Structure 1
Amino acid sequence: MARRTKRLWTDEEKRSICFQTAAPGVSVAQVARRYAVNANLIFKWLRDPRFAPDPASVPASSEEARFLPVEIVAEEQAPAAAPVAENRIEIELAGGHLSAIRTFAPVGSPDIGPRGPTGSPRKSCGTPRKEKTSGPAPARCHA
């Protein structure tokens, strides 16, 4: 196994590495990988006033917080949507399975509501609705 030797950095190298961390969009981790150094060591150098970059020498960030112009305009009213009614058709299948189909249409449409398309009340066979059963579906109307 190779023996590790402690790497010694000059004060100028430390200042140079710390200065690179102050560039906009550059992280300490990126600089640490560039020099094969642990990021904690660079953070330690940054706390030392001898190596910390001078704020006046750091290039200004182009992504500074700034105000943007805003224009307030009147809100346009969208046309009100017509109310929608839901129709549901249930079909009882063999084996007691229930298949449901839902449709949506605007209220006032000829085939929506308690009356059929002709305006007469919808007809029902009069057979009460049954819950799911395990046997075959009865051949009766359940409207």
Structure 2
Amino acid sequence: MARQTHRVYSLEFKQQVVQETLEPGTSVSVVARRHDMNANVVFEWKRLYREGKLKLPGIEAARTSSTELLPVNVIDLPVPMPRPVQLAENESPSTAGNVPPSVCEIEVEIGKRRVRIRGLPLERAESFLQECLK
């Protein structure tokens, strides 16, 4: 049975590959294919870089972790009121069920990128944010 060899990469090569992945719009998978290597290896090198264990010349490590907090601004927006509905004789306003659910807007800005989601029900927005920030 043929024994597979483990490739050893120089520090300079690792730094070059990680540097390529930091360019805006660059895919780790594309960079890995360009160098004929497994993307998981490149992801591992990026993790080491984020943790400060792989230094890039002239670049301060971008330390991030799953416990890092991001600033969040909550902005109250006016909710448009629905047009009045003609109630039946035996219906009261409390039983009509015409109250719209609370809606909100989420805006996330990271660097030059901004994502804005409008019109989400409040409960859906909360679960969406909790899922994203895990």
Q: Same fold (TM over 0.5)?
A: no
* Structure that is richer in helix per residue: 2
Q: RCO higher in 1 or 2 (8 Å CA, sep ≥ 6)?
A: 1
Category of TM-score, reference length = shorter chain: 0.3 to 0.5
TM-score by length of 2: 0.37
